[in-house]
Structure 1
């Protein structure tokens, strides 16, 4: 299927990672929910890459449009350094393939932009929503802690895959653009502590709906109606 064409002015690479992830997923998610054969087939292929390194699944090349990552990120026309480009490609790959697993057999979009107080969709908040009645479930919490202490990106992707399967079972959404930006940051020197702090903050900040009859605020969000907004995702945790 055709992939989105991203036209970006020079910007920071982390911001570009978030935007490219959001654009790729929005296009695929819209097609999948409309039962378009190409999108359905694309997700089936992408799911095979969940928890794997990008070089392990060369048959997925071309399904995710990462062309804009190679564009200049500085006003003087300089392109990203090789190591930063690799981190960015890996972050987008992990986020999109995990989303494809999350979206499998779901009738609503499992990628939803994080709206902080109104509809938090960061990883910590998503894990918190797995816990019934607002009580801390130590078994589930340990999964998040183990993910935060993964020794490398491959292990992190595998541990996130286990969390995503739980989220899919409960129809709990996640902001995969936000996650992609965090995965990029996680790979940079000193970034792991920042990401762990963001996940912990998101976990503790989440508050369940006061009235169960009102449902979960995130359920009313529609990914197809809301464009990517860097202000809502850039610093959200």
Structure 2
């Protein structure tokens, strides 16, 4: 008996497209490829800003695959396209800010044993078995944003903290959540996901001589190089 897989949702398409654009740029950046270093420098200028306000970034945020029709995908409506484009722009620019001057991969796909959703990442900023109220309130404040631009600005503040601590994030997952956020009732859905992710994180048992949780991912590619990020 032949079975066919279900058509991907728009949220899934946005998440997959985001990861597909980040992964090669991330590897290029970590290997000091000038084209990717320059692209990140330009992308991060858009972090926390409306996508339509920065036409200079349009060629760096490739929305073309959203228009491709296949047997498994349908044409997207105008509202779906706008929200997908907004989510892709926001996720890519926040990742570029996150990756700045970091020698490890700041985009990391979530897995069962290694949660890298936003809630889990924020929880990792806190001491084991303690709740850091100022940090928790940053997540809550992001969750109460009235629109996507405000949300992006508040997420930007969180991303700066994650970058300092070398804590990665699944930007494909985040992009999908940013897409959902823009629909009626979507903010409630995403807040629940962030809360679940926050409580899902469990501090790993510390081994003698092991590094802190923030740097225990064992994904160092090269030492951080701040000179190339001066722009």
TM class by shorter-chain length?
0.7 to 0.9
- Kindly report structure 1 stretches of 4+ aligned residues shifted beyond 6 Å: none
Distance change (3 Å), C-alpha of 1:212 and 1:131: farther
Aligned mates of 1:142, 1:11 — CA distance in 2? 34
TM-score by length of structure 2 reads 0.87
Deviation at 1:141, TM superposition (A): 0.2
Contact kept, 8 Å, 2:103 with 2:220, in 1: the verdict is: no
Aligned mates of 1:13, 1:91 — CA distance in 2? 11
Instruction: Give the aligned partner of residue 228 of structure 1.
Output: none
Distance change (3 Å), C-alpha of 1:221 and 1:13: farther
Instruction: Give the aligned partner of residue 135 of structure 2.
Output: 140
TM-score by length of structure 1 reads 0.85
Deviation at 1:78, TM superposition (A): 4.0
Deviation at 1:10, TM superposition (A): 5.5
Instruction: Give the aligned partner of residue 99 of structure 1.
Output: 95
Instruction: Give the aligned partner of residue 227 of structure 1.
Output: none
Further displaced range: 159-168 or 188-197: 188-197
* Number of residue equivalences: 213
Contact kept, 8 Å, 1:124 with 1:200, in 2: the verdict is: yes
Contact kept, 8 Å, 2:141 with 2:154, in 1: the verdict is: yes
- Which of 94, 105, 109 is matched with 1:109 structurally? 105
- Which of 158, 181, 186 is matched with 1:163 structurally? 158
Deviation at 1:133, TM superposition (A): 2.7
Contact kept, 8 Å, 2:99 with 2:105, in 1: the verdict is: yes
Render the CA deviation track for 1:120-142: whole Å, top value 9, x for unaligned. Answer: 10000000000023310010000
Bigger radius of gyration = 2
Instruction: Give the aligned partner of residue 15 of structure 2.
Output: 18
Distance change (3 Å), C-alpha of 1:198 and 1:52: same
Contact kept, 8 Å, 1:111 with 1:176, in 2: the verdict is: yes
- Which of 38, 46, 50 is matched with 1:49 structurally? 46
Contact kept, 8 Å, 1:15 with 1:181, in 2: the verdict is: yes
Instruction: Give the aligned partner of residue 231 of structure 1.
Output: none
- Which of 24, 27, 32 is matched with 1:35 structurally? 32
Instruction: Give the aligned partner of residue 205 of structure 2.
Output: 210
Consecutive unaligned residues of structure 1, counting only runs of 5 or more, are 1-8, 224-237
- Which of 149, 153, 158 is matched with 1:154 structurally? 149
1:133 is paired with a residue whose SS is coil
Aligned mates of 2:12, 2:63 — CA distance in 1? 13
Aligned-pair Cα RMSD in Å: 2.0
Aligned mates of 1:65, 1:222 — CA distance in 2? 28
